[in-house]
């Protein structure tokens, strides 16, 4: 197990190093959330200092904001910079068309907003995240929901054939509350043959703030493997 963790952490870090090479002087970037992104934030902080870069970042969570502050990365907000040059983010599952499931860290809504605001979306992950079809290995789709609507959305998810579970957190009793003050439903759909259609149907439910299905958004994936990083690019 320890051995496994070693290569996974190296793979995450190596993928992060490749992504940070895309950051140039005067870039405004989005920074996702999670354990892989933590490596990218640290590396970006070093790069900004070493190369004296004027870079600003929009963090997608309190986790990333605090890391950005720790590593000396100037932060900004979308109201000041509504167009971003690139976003670097992690993922929970990546299919062959580079569609994603995201949100096991609970930051999916802000992550999708910065991805949509960006010229280029770069995803970094270790190779365990690669899947033939989204939903493999009982991977749920995280859905951010207004607390007022949680029971209503639960019923609608069941009607779509999903098995919804309200996410409960460590360190607190009751539902996880996102950085936006909402709840997360983890919805199990089995194999998702048509992610675009499922995304449309879930988004149409009143009370759904955002889903963790990122369809057709990714430009580049750096996939950390045992001894190398594989670069995958979306076919345009
Ligand atoms: C957070 C996310 C993360 O990018 C995703 O959960 C991957 O996290 P990690 O790098 O820790 O595996 O979507 O909302």
pLDDT tens digits, one per residue of 163-179: 999 999 888 899 999 99
**1 pLDDT more than 60:** no
- Distance set, CA 123 to CA 116, 127, 159 (Å): 14, 12, 32
Residue 156 structure tokens: 């609608």
**63 pLDDT more than 70:** yes
Cβ of 144 less than 6 Å from ligand 1: no
Which residue among 9, 42, 43, 111 is the active-site one? 111
**159 pLDDT more than 90:** yes
Q: In angstroms, rounded to a whole number, what is the distance separating the alpha carbons of residues 217 and 50?
A: 31
Residues 2-130+216-225, CATH architecture: 3-Layer(aba) Sandwich (3.40)
Confidence of residue 235 (pLDDT cuts 50, 70, 90): confident
100-156 tens-digit pLDDT: 999 999 999 999 999 999 999 999 999 999 999 999 999 999 999 999 999 999 999
Q: In angstroms, rounded to a whole number, what is the distance separating the alpha carbons of residues 89 and 100?
A: 11
In sequence order, the 6+-apart residues with CB closer than 8 A to the CB of 170 are: none
Predicted local distance difference test score (pLDDT) of residue 213 = 98
Cβ of 103 less than 6 Å from ligand 1: yes
Q: Using the mean position of ligand 1's atoms as its centre, give its distance from the Cα of residue 67 in Å.
A: 15
Domain range summary for the chain, segments of one domain joined by +: 2-130+216-225, 136-207
162-218 tens-digit pLDDT: 999 999 988 889 999 999 999 999 999 999 999 999 999 999 999 999 999 999 999
User: In the annotation, is 42 catalytic?
Assistant: no
Cβ of 106 less than 6 Å from ligand 1: yes
- Does 3.40.50.1390 match the CATH number of domain 136-207? no
Q: Which atom in ligand 1 lies closest to the alpha carbon of residue 212? A: 13
Q: Whose CA is nearest to atom 5 of ligand 1?
A: 91
């Amino acid at each position: 197990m320890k051995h496994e963790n070693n290569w996974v952490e190296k793979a995450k870090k190596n993928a992060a190093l490749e992504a940070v090479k895309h950051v140039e002087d005067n870039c405004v970037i989005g920074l996702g959330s999670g354990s892989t992104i933590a490596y990218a934030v640290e590396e970006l902080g070093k790069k900004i200092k070493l190369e004296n870069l004027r870079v600003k970042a929009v963090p997608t969570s309190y986790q990333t904001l605090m890391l950005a502050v720790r590593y000396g990365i100037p932060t900004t907000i979308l109201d000041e910079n509504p167009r971003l040059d690139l976003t670097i983010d992690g993922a929970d599952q990546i299919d062959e068309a580079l569609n994603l499931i995201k949100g096991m860290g609970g930051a999916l809504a802000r992550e999708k907003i910065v991805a949509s605001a960006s010229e280029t979306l770069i995803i970094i992950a270790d190779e365990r995240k690669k899947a033939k079809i989204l939903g493999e290995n009982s991977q749920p789709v995280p859905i951010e929901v207004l607390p007022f609507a949680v029971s209503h959305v639960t019923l609608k998810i069941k009607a779509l054939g999903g098995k919804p579970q309200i996410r409960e957190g460590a360190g607190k009793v009751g539902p996880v509350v996102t950085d936006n003050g909402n709840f997360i439903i983890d919805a199990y759909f089995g194999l998702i043959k048509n992610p675009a259609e499922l995304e449309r149907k879930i988004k149409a439910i009143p009370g759904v703030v955002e889903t963790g299905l990122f369809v057709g958004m990714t430009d580049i994936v750096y996939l950390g493997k045992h001894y190398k990083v594989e670069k995958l690019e979306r076919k345009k």
